Structure 1
Amino acid sequence: MSWRACTLGDVIKLQRGHDLPERVRVDGPVPVVSSSGITGRHNVPRVDPPGVITGRYGTIGEVFFVDEPYWPLNTALYVVDFKGNDPRFAAYLLRNTLKNYKSEKAAVPGVDRNVLHLLKVRTAERREQEQVVSILSAYDDLIENNRRRIVLLEEAARMLYREWFVYFRFPGHEHVKIIDGIPEGWERLKVGDVAQLAYGKALKEETRVEGLYPVYGSSGIVGTHHAALVVGPAIVVGRKGNVGSVYWSTSDCWPIDTAYFIPSAQADFWLYLALPHVGFQNTDGGVPGLNRDFAHSRKITKPTERLRRFFNETVEPMFGQRETLLRYNRKLGQVRDLLLPRLMNGEIAV
């Protein structure tokens, strides 16, 4: 393969994203892309596809490819000119370049597009770019297919939860009386009477050692570490930033200080699916935050222990398949990431 040395600015032109506060967004089909990926929806796009977006502040080093009209936020940079290069190749090139850049500039909290444009890279002719894309995209396409299957499994579990515990159409409901608006034997309790939210522990990005254990923040998994803070399964709840977000971790994990967690002794599938219905909301005036006492005071409708166990047994195969797909995706991502630099420096001929 014939590769040539050049600068990143010779391959693509980056531009800062555009402001779009949540209060002015109108729910619609258009993905809103920030430094951490798709973080919302809007009714009108700002940019036509294809889109290649990376973080300017916040999550730096991640690169996202979108094939539909989108809105890049001001925490991100996006490609405005591919200069005749394959857009997906540009995404892989940018990912490979920023991975190296991040390791050298770990103390810098943000990136400057003008600095990025001067970074030394290597590129190939369009036909060879497409060959590289065909190899790497095979992994990404499998990952995306699995991700969609995961979404469907989660939605199936949520639909079953709503059927049983919101609409009260659980097995045998025909023979159960409704008393004070809930089935007989059920209880209206405070969240704190059902489970206790524990504080996560700070783990700065520069002190993490990549490993087997997911690191959770209020926006979900933000990295990995070689040690765990919490034994899985655990429920993670957003405390700062993405207030009230709820995540299920089958494995041991490390929730950082932007999140709470519910330990394995209290965590189950029913509680994980029930928490989004309790009405967690921001209780801080400045940075969005969830006060623990407020969260514990929220009401939750608790079914009988027998029905709760039956529900957990019913949805367990869904979560088991979800975990299998997540593990498979992690392995696919690892193989792709091993191939990426070797393909990009011409070490592997295509």
Structure 2
Amino acid sequence: MEWKNCKIEDAPIAIIDGDRGKNYPKQGDFLNIGHCLFLNASNVTKKGFDFNNCQFISEDKDEKLRKGKLFQHDIVMTTRGTLGNVAYYHEKIGYEHIRINSGMVIFRCDRNKLLPNFFYLFICSPLFINQVNSLRSGVAQPQLPIKDIKTIKIKIPPLPIQQKIADILSKYDDLIENNRRRIELLERSARLLYKEWFVRLRFPGHEHTPIIDGIPEGWERLKLGEVLTLQRGFDLPSAKRTHGQYPIFASTGINGYHEKAKVQAPGIVTGRSGSLGKVMYIAEDFWPLNTTLYVKDFIKVDAVFALHLLENLHLEQYNSGAAVPTLNRNDIHKIKVLCPSCTLKSLFLAFANPIYTQIHFLDRYNQKLKQARDILLPKLMNGEIEV
């Protein structure tokens, strides 16, 4: 069975632009809750849809817009600013009415000739991404016009082969997703226990523990800097990075890998500049960037306890920056916190440490699954491996 080599403009795909007319929503039209989800740049990521920061428009406003409405099995791609982030609108997405903004396009496949899940795999592969990177225009704000998208080349196999390829790769994605959910449940169980014991103060034996000066007997009220020491991360320009085994952490998470580590595991990192509030537990040696703060010294707590302690401080509320959100570690060190007894900390860690050991195992397993899938994907998509 032959594969068809063509450009996207000659493939069975419609490219649909967002509405740019007079009825395009203004800032005052957006609602926290409403009839139609109106996608913004943060909703379409390298990992698909992210609905943490949503804005909506009314049914009346939705009906006035001519273009840009999503239907089941449509694929969305960002075309301005951050290029090439994609998301698949399948039946498990929990919003019935969705529209794209003017910095996105919709791909709508003729499902009798091209399976949407196969095309989605293609645009997630280096075969598509490398072409997008070569076509990007604009200096201040990169753009990818539809006329350029149409020139991107694609190899389309017959439908039965499309389905086989999609089935093979979906097995990897299903395993990865199942592990991700297990990690979420494990993290949630540790967070719930921490809050129950150390925020609500319903720890084992709390009924019989005297309260002295407003805190349980055996506990201490200390400055955060007496419990742990936060330190600014280290510069590492992209030009000086050499790919290796050690993760590089920015304020929002992993930002690549390097041949050297600056900090030994286990470690705790949180955002210092740009994005604040996320606290990360790291079970392997790592390099924290200068946009982060990491725990240099665990004085009265270990890494797992420090993770939950910092999470419950909601550090984003201590922003001291004007244009760019910023944390000043000297200010953070002055925050008063409750430090429980050694016995109670040990009881908590007896429960929590095995959880984070399992989380680390599942995370490493997912990394290996992703590596295997990423090696396999382009070889399946270009016909190098027959199915």
Secondary structure, aligned partner of 1:251: coil
**What is the aligned partner in structure 2 of residue 304 from structure 1?**
341
Structure 1 residues 245 and 130: alpha-carbon distance in aligned structure 2, compared to 1, 3 A threshold:
same
Structure 1 residues 242 and 83: alpha-carbon distance in aligned structure 2, compared to 1, 3 A threshold:
farther
Match of 1:328 among 347, 361, 365: 365
Q: Distance in 2 between matches of 1:64 and 1:148?
A: 19
Secondary structure, aligned partner of 1:310: helix
Aligned pair 1:126/2:159, yes or no? yes
Q: Which amino acid aligns with 2:306?
A: L
Structure 1 residues 40 and 139: alpha-carbon distance in aligned structure 2, compared to 1, 3 A threshold:
same
1:331-346 maps to which residues of 2 (within 5 A)? 331-346=368-383
Q: Is the 8 A contact 1:47 1:69 kept in 2?
A: no
Q: Is the 8 A contact 1:36 1:59 kept in 2?
A: no
Match of 2:200 among 157, 167, 182: 167
Secondary structure, aligned partner of 2:333: helix
Structure 1 residues 170 and 59: alpha-carbon distance in aligned structure 2, compared to 1, 3 A threshold:
farther
Structure 1 residues 118 and 145: alpha-carbon distance in aligned structure 2, compared to 1, 3 A threshold:
same
Q: Distance in 2 between matches of 1:181 and 1:217?
A: 38
Secondary structure, aligned partner of 2:181: helix
Higher mean C-alpha displacement, 276-285 vs 129-138: 276-285
Q: Distance in 2 between matches of 1:126 and 1:141?
A: 22
**What is the aligned partner in structure 2 of residue 81 from structure 1?**
108
Q: Give 1:169 shift.
A: 1.8
**What is the aligned partner in structure 2 of residue 26 from structure 1?**
32
Q: Is the 8 A contact 1:268 1:312 kept in 2?
A: no
Q: Distance in 2 between matches of 1:106 and 1:204?
A: 23
Q: Is the 8 A contact 2:136 2:143 kept in 1?
A: no
Match of 2:290 among 257, 263, 279: 257
Match of 1:100 among 119, 130, 143: 130
Match of 2:309 among 274, 299, 309: 274
Q: Is the 8 A contact 2:247 2:287 kept in 1?
A: yes
Number of residue pairs aligned between Structure 1 and Structure 2:
348
Unaligned runs of 5+ in 1: none
Q: Give 1:293 shift.
A: 2.4
**What is the aligned partner in structure 2 of residue 247 from structure 1?**
280
Q: Distance in 2 between matches of 1:320 and 1:162?
A: 20
Unaligned runs of 5+ in 2: 58-68
Q: Give 1:172 shift.
A: 2.3
Match of 1:226 among 259, 269, 277: 259
Q: Give 1:269 shift.
A: 0.9
Q: Give 1:308 shift.
A: 1.5
Q: Distance in 1 between matches of 2:336 and 2:82?
A: 35
Q: Is the 8 A contact 2:115 2:162 kept in 1?
A: yes
Match of 1:200 among 210, 233, 238: 233
Q: Give 1:203 shift.
A: 3.0
Q: Give 1:143 shift.
A: 0.1
Structure 1 residues 245 and 49: alpha-carbon distance in aligned structure 2, compared to 1, 3 A threshold:
farther
Give deviations 1:13-50, integer Å, cap 9, x for gaps. 365799999xx663799796233542614374874544
Q: Distance in 2 between matches of 1:106 and 1:206?
A: 21
**What is the aligned partner in structure 1 of residue 247 from structure 2?**
214
Q: Which amino acid aligns with 1:94?
A: I
Structure 1 residues 321 and 57: alpha-carbon distance in aligned structure 2, compared to 1, 3 A threshold:
farther
Give deviations 1:282-310, integer Å, cap 9, x for gaps. 22111222222232222321111222122
**What is the aligned partner in structure 2 of residue 7 from structure 1?**
7
Q: Distance in 2 between matches of 1:19 and 1:207?
A: 43
Q: Is the 8 A contact 2:227 2:298 kept in 1?
A: no
Structure 1 residues 42 and 99: alpha-carbon distance in aligned structure 2, compared to 1, 3 A threshold:
closer
Q: Distance in 2 between matches of 1:43 and 1:249?
A: 33
Q: Give 1:314 shift.
A: 1.6
Q: Distance in 2 between matches of 1:234 and 1:321?
A: 16
Q: Distance in 1 between matches of 2:295 and 2:102?
A: 31
Q: Is the 8 A contact 1:54 1:61 kept in 2?
A: yes
Give deviations 1:175-218, integer Å, cap 9, x for gaps. 31122332112122222222222112233445533332222212
TM-score normalised by structure 1 residue count: 0.85
TM-score normalised by structure 2 residue count: 0.78
Structure 1 residues 344 and 150: alpha-carbon distance in aligned structure 2, compared to 1, 3 A threshold:
same
Structure 1 residues 203 and 110: alpha-carbon distance in aligned structure 2, compared to 1, 3 A threshold:
farther
Q: Which has the larger radius of gyration?
A: 2
Q: Distance in 2 between matches of 1:134 and 1:20?
A: 42
Give deviations 1:120-158, integer Å, cap 9, x for gaps. 221223332221110101000100000000000000000
Q: Is the 8 A contact 1:12 1:82 kept in 2?
A: yes
